[in-house]
Each structure stands twice: as C-alpha cells, then as structure tokens.
C-alpha cells in the first residue's frame, strides 16, 4: 500500500512539472469552462476574478467570486455593438446585466467525473437565460466536458426535456418578456429547467512544457440571432454579425506574466475572433510571505527591579510592537493581567500571543515567575476578548491542540481594566489624522459604463475621552468625468438615493463624515452608541444603536434608530427640506463554516417598511463575499426598474497584499441599479464592526496564528 501511494505522489509531481497550471480557466461569460460553454470545475474557495470579453458582437464584463470550493457566483454587464437601446440612433448604447451561479460535486470515487448544475442570467428579462448540468472528467492533461442545457442551449438542435415526468410545465419554455416579470429584476423561476434541452461539450488539452498554455475545442449550441438578443431591437448589422458558419469553436488559453492574469483567444461560430482576459487571484492566503514571529530579548531601562519599573518596561516593549498597553496588574500569586489596544492584527490569538510572550520576556528579566497571563483587548472603552494562557504554552508554541485545551476565552468586564494596579495616564483630548487617496465611481449607466473620479481624503479623529470622539473626513476632488452623466432620478418615491449623480457632480470640496460618537458599555454583553452630526455623504442627523452580543453564543441582536435630514448637493453644512426617521431591528448568526446571516426589519429612508436579507461567507484568511436583497411595502412598479433592491459585496484584508500585518480591509459593494426603495442609512462606525473577536466562534480559525 505504501508503494502505491508513493507512485501516485511521484505521478502527480511528474504531471505538474510537464503540464504546469492545470487549473480551470474562465469562458467568455466569466464562468469556469471552455470558450462559450461551462465545465463542472470551479477555481476554488476565495477566488475573485474580473473577466473581460470582446468580439464583433458584444463586450462583456464579469465579476466572479467563489465563496466555497463547490460554489461560483458571478455578476455581468453586457453591451452588444449592434442592438438598439431607444430608437435608431441608439445603436451600441444597450446595456444589460445579470447573475450566474454554479454548484459542483466531486464524487468520492476517484475516477468519477465532477458534476455541476448551474444557471446563467436567471432573473428578469434574461437575454442569456439558460440552465445546465455538466460533467467534467480529467485524464492526465485532458479534460472532457459533456452537458445538457435548457434555454439558450436548446436554440439550434433540441431534444425532449427529461424533466417532463415532473409535470407539464417542463415541456415548454415561457416568454422572457412575459408581463409577469414586470420591470425586470425578479427571479424568473417559471423558466428554470423548462422546455427542450440541447447538448454541449468539448475538450481542454494542457500542452506539455508550455507554461500553462491550453488548447480548447467545443461544440457551440447557440443561435446568436436569438442568444443575447434582442434588447431594444436589431440594427442592419445584426444579420451579418450574428450569422453562424460553424458549430465548432476552438482557441488557446495562456497565463501572461503570472497565474493571476490569463489571456484567451478563440475563433467562434466559424467567422469571429473572440478575446477574453481574466485578472484576479485566490485570496485564501497572503500574496506575500510575512516574517515569522521571533522572540527578541526585551529592552530593559530600569535600574531597580521593582513592580513599578516592571510595568514601565512592559509598557515600552509592548508599545514598540504596536500593542499599546492600557493597564497591567501582577497579583500576589504572580498571575499577570494586562489590557492592550491593537489596530495592527486582525487575529486576537496572534496579538494576544505576541503580547503575552513579550510580557513573559520582560518578566524573566525582572525574575518574576508568572504562572498565568491574561490578555484583554480594548476598543473605545469596550473590553472585547479576554484570553487566559498558561505560561507553559509558550515553551512549546507548535503544540496548538494542547495550547487550545489549556487556554480559556473568558467573559469581559465593564471597565474591569480600570481596577488594575497600573493604568497609564492618557492625555485627552488627543488628535490623530491621516491622508488617504480614494476612488469614487458610478457604474452601469447606458451612456457610459463607468463614471469615476479620484479624491484625496483627510481622515481625522479628535478623542475627548475613551468614550467620546469626533471623526471627520474632508475630501478634495482631484478629477472626474461625472459632468458627462445626466442626473435623471425617474423615481415615483422620494429621491433619497437616485439624486446621487448631483452629489457626485457638485461636491468638489466636501465633508463625507463629521460624526460625534459616545460609546456606552452597559454590561458584559450589551453595548450602546449615540451618534450625531454628518453621518454620511447624503444625510446628517442624530440617533443611536444598541447591541447584545454574548460570548458563548453565535448570534447577536441589535436595534438602531436615527432622525436624519437630507444634505444639500455641495455636501458642506446646508440641508434640504426632506427629513425622516429610519431604524431597524437586526439579527446576526454565524455558522461554523464561516457563513454569516444578517436579517433586519424596519423603516427605510423613503419611509417604506420591510426587511433585508444578507448572506455571506468569510474564509480563514478574512476574505468575505456575500449578497443581499431588500423587500418592502413598495410595489415592483413603484420601485421601478429592478423591482427591488439587491446587490453583492466583497471584503479583502489589506494585509493580504503586504509583507506585514495590518488590521484594515478594502470593501467593494455593487447594486445593479440605484433606486429609492429599500435604502438604508450608510452610517459609519457601527457597533457590530467595533466589537470584533467578542464571541467564541470568532477564534475557531485563529489558533494557527499563535506566535506565528
């Protein structure tokens, strides 16, 4: 048996050497596959890619995310070169958008193929509407795909739907432009897996010693006079551009410069050259190796080894590492309790183990035999995690399972650190500032896909006490093309968001935030915050929130209520007439697999009432991807195009791109359309975000960070 495994190991390395980069690649539509058709493969958890495609018929831009190894989701924009938007002079202005999803399964039997089920453009008036089941079998450097598909897959040659035994509704496919889909944006469930089916398939061949180059060939089942057609109508060029001379597509895929950038060039439908570029990467690990923790002899400045001088040298050594000491207490049993403030490390196991090891090194220099050490993290007078280590854990830091067994994560206290023997004096008020370049954008307009600009932002914080602080952002416009965009809210509701273009156009020097916060730790598990001032770019007001977040549970419950007034377009200190109350009751639940569910119910900015459903996945690296939708008492017709508010987002830890640790994140959030229904206040510094690492489940994936 051991010989068998040894041979397989050598065989795997041998193939990896000859056929470098046998990972899946993306097709024209940003779905893992061949050229125009999908495969059963997925690039893997925490993959994020932008896929751009261009040929004579259309341009496609797709953002594809894999929150799990077995799931891939994407959002695309489609701009055909030949279709009309609003009359004969609007050729090339038509813009469509949609969502794709694919789920796959790898059977336990080694030689069985991967199988996937997927849906492309599955909502509303879907020009690409299609569903499929596909199998992929890999044999050395060959990957064979074979699948059946509904919708667009059955446009040329089709067969009886094998699902007809489930009911007559599966025998025929409905009309994409049925009035039941109203103003678009609804899930077209009546169409899914209905009507006749078509067959598709193909092969991908990894070329030996070609540094990841692949040859692809496939059977193309699409009728391009129907597929991705016809928007506001065809133009005289459509018949020529969309004609098809062959059902066989073939092409090459090859990485350029690095595995994070891939080019595809192919020949489709017998008469058209097709280009695809995929740029992105896997965010399950850092792109750069960070230096490992090294135990360094502490710097001791004390001449007399007393408890007071121990505290002072402890303060200096911790502060030097960005672990700012807030309090310390060494009791008669030589148990050491310290409180730190940390903005450098996202993982509290990492920061607490670094702080504990540093403290033990200082204690050794003072001949103090510490038995147990407890590290508490503090954020704005709120005690977060309290981690209690046995000192023997630091003798063998690689024995993680034993360390987990010996370590306790305890309930925090309300201002327990203030009773410690050593509490350094912090001088208030304190002032902090920094300069940050930033991008602002407006995506998805028919007249131009992207309107964007650059600003330089001054971020300041004036802290009057641990609980009271004023946060201000000043933004200075460096340049943009927003003046090319016409502001046209076109909404039946109060324009609470649809006038965003006016805000983008008229704010050359503006104040996105000037918020005064008072933090109030009520009990171990309950915290509150009162805020007033300029709360976001479009609104100012006053209000507060409260949250219950118990240590030994996976849920949090909170509520918020604000009275807000809409700001003037110049975004300085003037306001418009519209004002309202907005507030929600919020529920959050974290599942063991990193899945996070957020539900909220309440009143939105346009005074509509309803709920928001938000589902996301956070990987071990901190990468998070999710989607949301909101349904309120506003009808689909009153809401307008899109029917209801929805979108997706992802969050990437900044230090994945750095050679050192950093606690910040970069965020991206996109909704297909900006409408007025279902709009929340974009209030900064929410309590839930300030209370990170306060529940047992938050530490599940952090133990490998111990003295790492």
Q: What's the pLDDT tens digit per position in 396-422? A: 999 999 999 999 999 888 989 999 999
Give 235's contacts (C-beta < 8 A, 6+ positions apart): 82, 83, 84, 88, 91
pLDDT at 178: 57
pLDDT beyond 60 at 14: no
Cβ(497)–Cβ(605) below 8 Å: yes
More confident of the two residues 180 and 149: 149
pLDDT beyond 60 at 496: yes
| 430-698 placed in CATH 2.40.160 | yes
More confident of the two residues 315 and 83: 315
CA distance 228 to 226: 6
Q: Is 656 helix (H, G, I), strand (E, B) or coil?
A: helix
How open is the CA angle 58-61-67, to the nearest 5 degrees? 145
Q: Is 556 helix (H, G, I), strand (E, B) or coil?
A: strand
pLDDT beyond 50 at 432: yes
Strand partners, 510: 475
pLDDT at 10: 36
Q: What is the mean pLDDT of residues 349-368?
A: 96
CA Rg, the chain, in Å? 29
For the chain, the residue count is: 708
* CATH code matching the domain that covers 20-282, chosen among 3.40.190.10, 2.40.160.40, 3.30.930.10, 2.60.40.10: 2.40.160.40
For residue 259, name the pLDDT band (cuts at 50, 70, 90).
confident
Q: Is 187 exposed, middle or buried (0-12, 13-18, 19+ CB in 10 A)?
A: middle
Q: What is the mean pLDDT of residues 137-163?
A: 94
More confident of the two residues 128 and 596: 596
Tokens at residue 683, please? 């209030």
What count of other Cβ atoms lies within 10 Å of the Cβ of residue 444?
A: 17
Give 551's contacts (C-beta < 8 A, 6+ positions apart): 409, 410, 411, 412, 524, 525, 694, 695, 696
For residue 87, name the pLDDT band (cuts at 50, 70, 90).
low
Averaged pLDDT of the chain: 90
More confident of the two residues 483 and 607: 607
Q: What is the mean pLDDT of residues 26-54?
A: 96
Range with lowest mean pLDDT among 193-202, 308-317, 494-503, 583-592: 494-503
DSSP characters over 460-525: EEEESSSSEEEEEEEEEEEEE-GGGSPP----SS--SSTTHHHHHHH-SEEEEEEEEEEEEE-SSS
For residue 109, name the pLDDT band (cuts at 50, 70, 90).
confident
CA distance 23 to 39: 12
Q: What is the mean pLDDT of residues 8-34?
A: 71
pLDDT beyond 60 at 553: yes
CA distance 452 to 8: 52
**What ranges do the domains of the chain cover?**
20-282, 307-426, 430-698
For residue 6, name the pLDDT band (cuts at 50, 70, 90).
very low
Tokens at residue 532, please? 């007033």
Supply the DSSP symbol for 57: S
Topology match between the domains 20-282 and 430-698: yes
Scanning 2-155, the segments in alpha helix (DSSP H) are: 2-18
pLDDT at 12: 44
For residue 310, name the pLDDT band (cuts at 50, 70, 90).
very high
Range with lowest mean pLDDT among 76-85, 420-429, 549-558: 76-85
pLDDT at 8: 37
pLDDT at 501: 86
Q: What is the mean pLDDT of residues 250-254?
A: 96
Q: ω before 262 within 30° of 0 (cis)?
A: no
φ, ψ dihedrals at 169, nearest 5°: -60, -20
Supply the DSSP symbol for 258: E
Pairing of strands 324-330, 248-256: unpaired
For residue 98, name the pLDDT band (cuts at 50, 70, 90).
confident
pLDDT beyond 80 at 449: no
pLDDT at 92: 74
Centroid of chain to Cα 488: 30
Using a pLDDT cut of 90, give the percent of the chain over it: 69
633-684 pLDDT, tens per residue?
999 889 988 889 999 999 999 999 999 999 888 888 888 888 999 999 998 7
Q: What is the mean pLDDT of residues 566-580?
A: 96
Tokens at residue 530, please? 């009162």
Cβ(653)–Cβ(623) below 8 Å: yes
Scanning 251-379, the segments in alpha helix (DSSP H) are: 307-320, 348-365
pLDDT beyond 70 at 448: no
CA distance 414 to 467: 13
pLDDT at 213: 92
């Amino acid at each position: 048996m051991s010989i068998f495994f040894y041979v397989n190991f050598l065989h795997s390395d041998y193939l990896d050497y000859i056929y470098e980069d046998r990972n899946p690649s993306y097709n024209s539509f940003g779905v893992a596959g061949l050229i125009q058709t999908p495969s059963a493969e997925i690039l893997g958890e925490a993959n994020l890619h932008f896929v751009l495609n261009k040929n004579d018929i259309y341009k496609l831009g797709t953002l594809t995310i894999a929150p799990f190894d077995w799931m891939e989701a994407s959002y695309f924009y489609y701009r055909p070169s030949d279709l009309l938007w609003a009359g004969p002079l609007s050729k090339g202005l038509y813009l469509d958008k949609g969502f794709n999803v694919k789920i796959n399964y790898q059977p336990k039997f080694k030689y069985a193929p991967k199988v996937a089920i997927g849906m492309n453009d599955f909502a509303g008036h879907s020009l690409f509407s299609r569903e499929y089941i596909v199998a992929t079998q890999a044999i050395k450097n060959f990957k064979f795909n074979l699948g059946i598909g509904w919708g667009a897959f059955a446009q040329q040659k089709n067969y009886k739907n094998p699902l007809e035994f489930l009911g007559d509704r599966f025998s025929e496919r409905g009309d994409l432009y049925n009035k039941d889909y109203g103003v678009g944006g609804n899930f077209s469930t009546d169409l899914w897996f209905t009507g006749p089916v078509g067959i598709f398939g193909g092969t991908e061949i990894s070329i030996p010693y070609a540094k990841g180059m692949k040859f692809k060939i496939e059977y193309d089942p699409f009728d391009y006079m129907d597929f991705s057609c016809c928007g506001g109508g065809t133009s005289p060029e459509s018949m020529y551009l969309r004609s098809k001379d062959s059902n066989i597509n073939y092409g090459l895929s090859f990485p350029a410069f690095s595995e994070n950038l891939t080019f595809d060039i192919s020949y489709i439908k017998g008469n058209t050259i097709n280009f695809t570029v995929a740029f992105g990467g896997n965010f399950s690990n850092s792109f750069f190796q960070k230096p490992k923790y090294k135990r360094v002899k502490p710097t001791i400045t004390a001449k007399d080894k007393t408890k007071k001088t121990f505290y002072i040298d402890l303060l200096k050594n911790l502060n030097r590492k960005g672990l700012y000491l807030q309090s310390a207490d060494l009791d008669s049993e030589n148990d050491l309790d310290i409180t730190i403030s940390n903005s450098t490390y996202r993982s509290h196991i990492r920061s607490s183990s670094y702080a504990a090891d540093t403290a033990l090194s200082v204690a050794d220099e003072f001949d103090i035999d510490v038995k147990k050490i407890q590290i508490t993290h503090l954020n704005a007078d709120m005690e977060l995690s309290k981690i209690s280590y046995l000192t023997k854990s630091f003798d063998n830091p690689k024995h993680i399972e034993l360390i987990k067994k010996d370590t306790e994560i305890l309930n925090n206290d309300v201002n327990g650190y203030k009773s410690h023997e050593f509490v350094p004096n912090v001088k208030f008020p304190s002032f902090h500032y920094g300069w940050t370049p930033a991008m602002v954008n407006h995506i998805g307009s028919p007249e131009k896909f992207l309107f964007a600009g650059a600003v330089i932002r001054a971020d300041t914080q004036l802290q009057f006490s641990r609980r009271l602080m004023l946060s201000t952002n000043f933004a200075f416009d460096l340049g943009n093309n927003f003046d090319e965009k016409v502001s046209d809210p076109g909404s039946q509701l109060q324009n609470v968001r649809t006038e965003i273009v006016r805000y983008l156009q008229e704010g050359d020097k503006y104040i996105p935030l000037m918020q005064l916060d008072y933090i109030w730790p009520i009990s171990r598990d309950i915290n509150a915050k009162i805020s007033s001032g300029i709360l976001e770019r479009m609104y100012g007001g006053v209000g507060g929130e409260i949250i219950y977040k118990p240590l030994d549970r996976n849920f949090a419950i909170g509520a918020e209520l604000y009275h807000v007034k809409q700001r003037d377009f110049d975004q300085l200190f003037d306001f418009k007439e519209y004002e309202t109350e907005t507030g929600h009751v919020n529920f959050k639940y974290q599942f063991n697999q990193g899945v996070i569910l957020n539900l909220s119910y309440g009143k939105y900015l346009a005074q509509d009432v309803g709920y928001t459903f938000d589902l996301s996945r956070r990987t071990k690296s901190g990468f998070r991807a999710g989607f949301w939708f909101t349904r309120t008492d506003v009808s689909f017709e009153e809401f307008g195009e899109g029917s209801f508010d929805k979108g997706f987002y992802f969050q990437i830890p900044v230090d994945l791109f750095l050679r050192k640790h950093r606690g910040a994140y970069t965020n991206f959030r996109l909704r297909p359309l900006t409408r007025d229904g279902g709009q929340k206040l974009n209030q900064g510094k929410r309590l839930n975000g300030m209370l990170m690492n306060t529940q047992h489940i938050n530490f599940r994936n952090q133990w490998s960070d111990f003295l790492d």
